[in-house]
Amino acid sequence: MNTTTSSYQWKIVDKKVETPTVTSLYLEPISEKPNFIAGQYVTIQIPNIGPAEGKSYSISNAPHEAQLRISIKKMGNFSTAILNHQLGDTIFTSAPYGFFYPEPIDTNELVFVVGGIGIAPCLSIIKHLAHTNNPRPIKLFYSNKTTVEIAFKKELDTIAQDHPQLSLNYYLTQEETVNTDCITGRVTPEQIVSSLDNKAEAEIFICGAMDFTKSLWKGLHNAGLPQHQLYTEGFF
């Protein structure tokens, strides 16, 4: 990921544990809050902790909200160092950047295929579309290992209650889904394609770990979806 050169300073005003491995930081701007497009990310830099260029994290809330929410999966020294920050501490980020978002004028069916923390930019987009009462159909295919690892499930369920154009499909790969609203097993390209209202026009956004993203992109392309309908963001 590339970033812009602008730098912004933020104060951590809240921390929320989303899952055993994911925590959200709620940030208020010290001076000005940059505008961003739902689906974009910022790069965080921590002095004396590499890499020197920092690491990029997707924004998980919508542009209309006063605070900026960054949701971080603990998976190494850098993410641990970020999450060790306390309320009242300040951090620096780049300006928001990235191109993983639908164009505002599009009206075609929108499909998100998500693995784990890949939900962050997709949730930002979903929240924005719901806030603006966008009528386009939205389907979410969201894969996790177990129930406790589903970040933002309550938030997504609440959005879906008020916005019937949002369809939620939760998948669990390492847990039986008895008496739940989840599906046991891995999400497959065939399941996604069979759900589409119009295969020739649907826009598919795939986000997750690199292997997840590559595998689903390849499977959907082999199933007949052209490259211009497939958008990806790989996390590592």
**pLDDT tens-digit readout, 43-77:** 998 888 878 889 999 999 999 999 999 999 999 89
How far apart, in whole angstroms, are the C-alpha atoms of residue 124 and residue 113? 14
Contacts (Cβ under 8 Å, ≥6 apart) of 132: none
Q: Look up residue 229 and give its DSSP letter.
A: G
Take residue 65 and report the two structure tokens written for it.
Answer: 């909200």
* The predicted structure's pLDDT at residue 5: 52
Please report, rounded to a whole number, the percentage of residues in the chain having pLDDT higher than 90.
87
**pLDDT tens-digit readout, 5-43:** 578 999 999 999 999 999 999 999 998 899 999 999 999
Cis peptide before 63 (omega within 30 of 0): no
Mean pLDDT, residues 76-88 taken together: 95
Mean pLDDT, residues 71-95 taken together: 95
| Structural domains of the chain ordered from first start | 7-94 (2.40.30.10), 110-235 (3.40.50.80)
Strands (DSSP E) contained in the chain are: 7-17, 22-29, 41-45, 55-58, 68-73, 90-94, 110-115, 138-144, 166-172, 182-184, 203-209, 230-235
CA-closest candidate to residue 139, choices 154, 152, 156, 155: 156
**pLDDT tens-digit readout, 179-227:** 679 999 999 999 999 999 999 999 999 999 999 999 999 999 999 999 9
**If you average pLDDT over every residue of the chain, what do you get?**
94
Mean pLDDT, residues 107-117 taken together: 97
* The predicted structure's pLDDT at residue 4: 44
Q: Is the pLDDT of residue 147 over 80?
A: yes
Mean pLDDT, residues 112-124 taken together: 98
Take residue 51 and report the two structure tokens written for it.
Answer: 């890499």
CA-closest candidate to residue 208, choices 94, 73, 44: 73
